[in-house]
Amino acid sequence: MGASHPEQPARLDAIEERLVDSGLDAQISRHKAPKVAREQLLAAHDPRYIELVYEVAPEEGMVWLDGDTAMNPHSLAAAEYAAGAAVTGVDLVMQGEVGQVFCAVRPPGHHAVKRGAMGFCIFSNVAIAAYHAINHWQLERVAIVDFDVHHGNGTEDIVSGDDRILFCSSFQHPFYPGSGADTHVPNIVNMPLSAGTDGAGFRKVMTERCLPRVQQFAPQLILISAGFDAHRDDHLAMLNLVEDDYAWITRELVQLAAQSAERRIVSCLEGGYNLQALASSVEAHLRAMLDQN
Ligand SMILES: [Zn+2]
């Protein structure tokens, strides 16, 4: 995204260092991502938009897909691997090779809409994963839970009205991208939170609105848009979550996945821009998946 941009390569380095320093590295298996296949992209994005991304991807310099979303010569490959990771995560849990997957990927995906890039996002990693689960693995019900501080407008745009997918998104409102508070679609559960909301407020809305809907839906797979920018130390936004809150929501989702999805969870990194808070929140998220907190 350019120098001194918060969506920076150091984010993944911070996660990587934390995995090693915390000893988690020895408790997880690692898998390389392939590039996403064109038909997997087509399940979530308009063919003209996909063509555009491949056409304008620069060999040098920067190209802007929207006011917030730039591509450099490596961005297209990164976006292909990020979506490919989400797809591979679905394959791994469906094959029973692993229980839960965390995709440490950039760029994030949840703002990318059917026909365009937005908010640092090029391809909708979780929506692509959801449609792979439906098209390739014949799943009938996939839940996506998005706890990034920003509304998952792109995911909503792609899955809105598709009853095979339940999409739940908690987000600061009013805030970027401004959407979500007035959505009235049966398969979308939007949970706007006012600036300053802390863990108690987050847990309350999740407990009252998201978790019962997910349980009732009985998903065969749970996908997580795991953004950690609602952390109180993340100054891109103004919510006040802490590591324990990320551990809590992860445990709740693991329990729901155990009820109807054979514990299958694929979590994809979205936002999270304070490197320290990002690394410690990812650690809490992974430990909860490993039943360690
Ligand atoms: Zn975000």
Picking from 52, 48, 92, the residue whose alpha carbon sits closest to that of residue 76 is 52
Ligand 1 center to 138 CA (angstroms): 30
How far the first Cα of the chain sits from its last, in Å, is 35
- pLDDT tens string, the chain, 293 residues long: the values are 888 899 999 999 999 999 999 999 999 999 999 999 999 999 999 999 999 999 999 999 999 999 999 999 999 999 999 999 999 999 999 999 999 999 999 999 999 999 999 999 999 999 999 999 999 999 999 999 999 999 999 999 999 999 999 999 999 999 999 999 999 999 999 999 999 999 999 999 999 999 999 999 999 999 999 999 999 999 999 999 999 999 999 999 999 999 999 999 999 999 999 999 999 999 999 999 999 87
Catalytic site residue 111? yes
| 242: phi then psi, degrees, rounded to nearest 5 | -130, 175
Ligand 1 centre distance from Cα of residue 272 (Å): 7
Whether residue 174 is preceded by a cis peptide bond, meaning omega within 30 degrees of 0, is: yes
230 backbone dihedrals φ, ψ, rounded to 5°? -85, 0
Residue 180 near residue 157, CB atoms below 8 Å: no
